[in-house]
Every structure is written in structure tokens, then in C-alpha cells.
Chain A
Amino acid sequence: GQNIDQPTEMTATEGAIVQINCTYQTSGFNGLFWYQQHAGEAPTFLSYNVLDGLEEKGRFSSFLSRSKGYSYLLLKELQMKDSASYLCAVRDSNYQLIWGAGTKLIIKP
């Protein structure tokens, strides 16, 4: 079966750095997405990785290793507004998105 694993919840301190991991087992691979979802709101796009390596976008970076079935989202200089759920999703061989359950990130002052 297809599976996406990510931690259920993480806590970090304002101003610090946090890494959210995602491991996947899917039938084929055509890219990995990270989305941010604030409570009660819709998910919004953060990043997309299709090749191995690091993609940097401001305070957020996303890393992919296809051989290990592994990705992480790195958030730097954490702000209170970064408190949200972070969703990992993999596009499989049929170009369908398989979603993880999401990681709830709690930022403390």
C-alpha cells in the first residue's frame, strides 16, 4: 500500500529552527509537495521537490532524497504565525496526490 509518515505534533520556540520530516512509500514518484494549513483554513502551497536536493524559499527550505523516500521541511527564524499544520504529499505514478496526516507545529514564545 501507499503510505506517507510524518510526526503528529512538534513544538518549537519562537526564533528557533525546526525540521519536519516526511517519509513515503508510494507506487512511483512524480514529485513531493509541502502545504501549510492554519487551523480552520484551507491548505496553501509551500514547496515542490521533484529532484534530489534542497529547495530554498525565504525562511522555508525543503529537501528531498528519492532513494531514501525521505523529505524534510526546514523552517528558520520561527514566528508565532508559523503555528500551523504542515502537510506532506507525494504524487504517485498515476499523478494522484497521496497525503500525509499532517504535522501540527506549535510555536512557543
Chain B
Amino acid sequence: IAGITQAPTSQILAAGRRMTLRCTQDMRHNAMYWYRQDLGLGLRLIHYSNTAGTTGKGEVPDGYSVSRANTDDFPLTLASAVPSQTSVYFCASSDKSTGELFFGEGSRLTVL
């Protein structure tokens, strides 16, 4: 089934550890995004990539980095996790013609 795959689906992490959330899409979408979703807040954009080889900062980029080596993969790295990064992380890609976002199933991250 075509779509977006995220891994891991859930992770508990000690503060100070490095963590990479993986995201792969098979829809050949150029644009990809990482959001975090916290209770009572809207989805907040962390980083985005409009095409392979380019990335940009979103609303809340501090403490996160991304890379886009190819069209399909868009990993998100937390260099040194902190408890405030406890959240649900969604990867998404968008259809160029409609702008519709397609989301992965999410990665629930708990930083202790």
C-alpha cells in the first residue's frame, strides 16, 4: 500500500541521548515535512524539504535536524533529547497539484 512509513512507532528515551526518527514515502512527492503534535496545540512544523537536497526550518526547529538525500527519505534527528521534546511526531508529504498532505502514522516519543 502506497504511503508514508515512520519508525519507530513508539520510543522511550533518556535525556541527552541521540535519536533519529525515520520517514519513508513511496508516492514520489517532492515536499516532505516533520510536525510535532502536543495536547491543546495545533500541529507545529519542525522542518520541511521542498525537494531532495534542500531543507528549511519551520516554526520550532531548535534541537532538531533533518536531511534529504533522496526523494523518498526524510529522517529527523534529535541530537541530545530533552524532556520538552516528548511529543507525537508526524512525517508528511504533499501532493504538488492539490497541496494535500499525507501523514505517516506518527512516532510517539517520551524523553525522561
- A interface, CB within 8 angstroms of B: 4, 8, 31, 33, 35, 41-45, 48, 87, 89, 91, 95-102
Contact = CB atoms under 8 A, between A and B. Distances in A.
Contacts of A43: 43, 90, 101, 103
Contacts, number: 46
A97 B103 contact: no
Given A97-B101, A98-B42, 15 more contacts: A33-B99, A33-B100, A41-B105, A41-B106, A42-B90, A42-B104, A42-B106, A43-B101, A48-B99, A89-B42, A95-B99, A96-B48, A96-B58, A99-B44, A102-B42
Interface string B91-104: 00000001111111
Interface in B19-77: 40-45, 48, 58
Query: Size band of the B side of the interface?
Result: 10 to 19
A101 B106 contact: no
Contacts of B106: 41-42
Q: DSSP majority for the A interface?
A: strand
Nearest to B40: A101
Given A41-B105, A42-B104, A42-B106, A100 B42 contact: yes
Contacts of A97: 43, 45, 101
Contact of B42 (A48, A91, A99): A99
B99 A4 contact: no
